[in-house]
């Protein structure tokens, strides 16, 4: 019986309508919107402030890499001009609070 209650709680947290009213989930949405705006203005430095500035941060893409500085350098080499950066948008974005300090977010990004 306890498992069912936990699954229902997770479903309620992940529901998009809940995202529109929960202040923590709204803050996550705002951060992603700000990152998108910073990227679309060609401002990599501002875009990168959405990430934790730590050598331990993990990035998963075609490869797995660590470190804020390495991430920023990789972006600078790959996106040398605002035209090369294109326009960043997100779809199917769903943040989920795991506890008061951690959340996950899934979705698609488009360049």
Q: What is the chain's pLDDT, residue by residue, as a tens digit (111 residues)?
A: 333 333 334 444 444 445 567 899 999 999 999 999 999 999 999 999 999 999 999 988 788 889 999 999 999 999 999 999 999 999 999 999 999 889 999 999 899
Cβ contact 71:79 at 8 Å:
no
What is the pLDDT, as a whole number, of residue 62?
Answer: 83
What is the pLDDT, as a whole number, of residue 100?
Answer: 87
Ranges of each domain in the chain = 2-110
What is the pLDDT, as a whole number, of residue 3?
Answer: 38
Taking alpha carbons only, the member of 48, 46, 24, 38 closest to residue 104 is 24
Which residue blocks in 22-81 are alpha helix, DSSP H? 23-40, 44-48, 68-78
Q: CATH fold of 2-110, please? A: Nuclear Transport Factor 2; Chain: A, (3.10.450)
């Amino acid at each position: 019986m306890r498992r069912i209650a936990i699954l229902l709680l997770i479903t309620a947290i992940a529901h998009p309508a809940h995202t529109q009213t929960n202040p923590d989930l709204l803050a996550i949405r705002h951060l992603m919107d700000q990152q998108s705006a910073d990227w679309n203005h060609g401002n990599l430095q501002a875009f990168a402030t959405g990430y934790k500035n730590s050598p331990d941060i993990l990035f998963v893409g075609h490869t797995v890499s660590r470190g804020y500085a390495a991430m920023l350098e990789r972006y600078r080499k790959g996106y040398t001009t605002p035209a090369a950066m294109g326009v960043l948008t997100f779809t199917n974005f769903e943040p989920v609070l795991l506890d008061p300090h951690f959340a996950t977010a899934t979705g698609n990004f488009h360049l």
